[in-house]
Amino acid sequence: MTDHGTNEDIDTDESGVVLTLPDELRGAFKEPFGPVFTDDERLVAALGEPVIVVGDVVTRHLTRAGVRPDLAVVDWVTERETLPDDEQPDIEGYERRIDLENPAAGLAEDLLHALRNGIGHDETAVVVVDGEEDLAALPAFAIAPEGASVVYGQPGEGMVHVEIDAEIREHARGLLSRMDGDHDRARRALGLE
């Protein structure tokens, strides 16, 4: 993992995947966790603070609409296709850039640390994932502050806006607890212990 920012490096004593999505839990992610927007202006008007965005297309839409997310997570891929350069979101101007690896259907400890640190700092940050960032919204729901907006893409539908409250936070933590893996290590990485 490489932190290109000016702040402290994210320090992990171990690397690797801590949680994986079991087949029986995949259905829990089919339905959007919040309202779906297709209009950038309506979405921008609904955003709280901080703004956390997971996905290249959503990040591109918001930056082109004049919103610089406080934390963006991108992987240069949408719907399993690599984005051409002219369709990639603009990530210039972020105060911190963190490069890391994360597998499909999994959550690596580095990604969980990056989310925790990105949400916990006042500086803007972009996490560039080598692999997949699809599940990153779930731990963001679990740790984002009350009133924050987490936005992610719903393939073929639009941009899902989740306003964080106690109910969504507990729902996300419940889903994380049903994933396979080392739950204690995941909670520590997210600062939930």
Q: What is the pLDDT of residues 172-183, one digit of tens each?
A: 999 999 999 999
Give, to the nearest 10 degrees, the angle between helix 109-120 and helix 183-190: 20
Answer yes or no: is 8 within a domain. no
DSSP 164-191: --HHHHHHHHHHHHHSEE-HHHHHHHHT
Instruction: Quote the pTM value.
Output: 0.89
**Residue ranges of the binding site for GTP:** 56-58, 75, 133
Answer yes or no: is 21 within a domain. no
Residue 157 CA to residue 119 CA, distance in Å, equals 27
Name the one residue in this structure whose structure tokens are 């591109």: 60
Answer yes or no: is 28 within a domain. no
Answer yes or no: is 130 within a domain. yes
Q: Tell me what pLDDT residue 155 has.
A: 87
Answer yes or no: is 110 within a domain. yes
Answer yes or no: is 193 within a domain. yes
Total number of domains constituting the chain:
1
Domain that holds residue 102: 45-69+84-145+161-193
86 Cβ contact partners less than 8 Å away, ≥ 6 residues apart: none
The pLDDT averaged over each successive group of 10 residues in the chain (193 residues) is: 44 68 93 96 97 95 94 86 79 93 96 95 94 95 98 94 98 97 97 89
**Residue ranges of the binding site:** 56-58, 75, 133
Decide the pairing of beta strands 158-163 and 36-37.
antiparallel
Q: Model confidence over 57-83: pLDDT tens digits? A: 999 999 999 999 999 999 988 767 777
- For 38, phi then psi, to 5°, come to -115, -10
